[in-house]
Structure 1
Amino acid sequence: MENKKYYLYVLVCGDGSFYGGFTDNVAHRLHQHQIGKGAKYTKSHKPVRLLYSEDFESKSLALKAEYAFKHQSRHAKERYLMEHGVDPILWVN
């Protein structure tokens, strides 16, 4: 039996802000954000693009990663993304 994966994902919004979330289906969740049904924040900050996703073995670990990402300063979020291989040019609209 295959274990279900859960993901931390990071979007860049139309105003250059970051949005972090968790899901078990990144493509579906991204689509939901793009059509304005993903989250209140992204609905008013469209368009959104996927910058990063990371898989976790459990829902709990993915939720902890999401919480940690969301509660960082902008500078810390940028550092996190760069440390995980996201080129800063990608978060400029």
Structure 2
Amino acid sequence: MSEGFTKKYRVHRLVYFELHEDMVGAIVREKRLKKWNRGWKLALIEKGDPEWRDLYPEIAF
């Protein structure tokens, strides 16, 4: 994520991520998710992270 994106949209937490075997699979999934409506995306986030914790510390090295 670029600084411009985070500043414009006030993104400060990572609340959802998926691991994929390869880049192609990740891009296919990203394109599918972009077609989802906001409610479906919120439900997906809340299913895995109901408290909307910042998940970045769990994946940062």
**Aligned residue identity for 1:67:** K
Q: Across the two proteins, how many residue pairs are aligned to each other? A: 53
Say if 2:34 is the partner of 1:49: no
Say if 2:26 is the partner of 1:67: no
> In structure 1, how many angstroms separate the alpha carbons of the residues matched to 2:11 and 2:21?
30
Q: More relative contact order in 1 or in 2 (CA 8 Å, sep 6+)?
A: 2
> In structure 2, how many angstroms separate the alpha carbons of the residues matched to 1:47 and 1:77?
16
Q: Is the 8 A contact 2:16 2:49 kept in 1?
A: yes
TM-score by length of 2: 0.65
Provide closer, same or farther for how the CA distance between residues 71 and 43 of structure 1 changes in structure 2, counting only shifts above 3 A. farther
Match of 2:52 in 1: 90
By percentage of residues, which structure has more helix?
2
Q: Calculate the aligned-residue CA RMSD, in Å.
A: 2.1
In the TM superposition, residue 76 of structure 1 has moved relative to its aligned partner by 0.9
Provide closer, same or farther for how the CA distance between residues 55 and 47 of structure 1 changes in structure 2, counting only shifts above 3 A. closer
In the TM superposition, residue 86 of structure 1 has moved relative to its aligned partner by 1.6
By percentage of residues, which structure has more strand?
1
What per-residue deviation string (whole Å, max 9, x for no partner) do you get for residues 7-56 of structure 1?
xxxxxxxxxxxxxxxxxxxxxxxxx44xx15x4xx441124210111111
**Aligned residue identity for 1:50:** L
TM-score by length of 1: 0.46
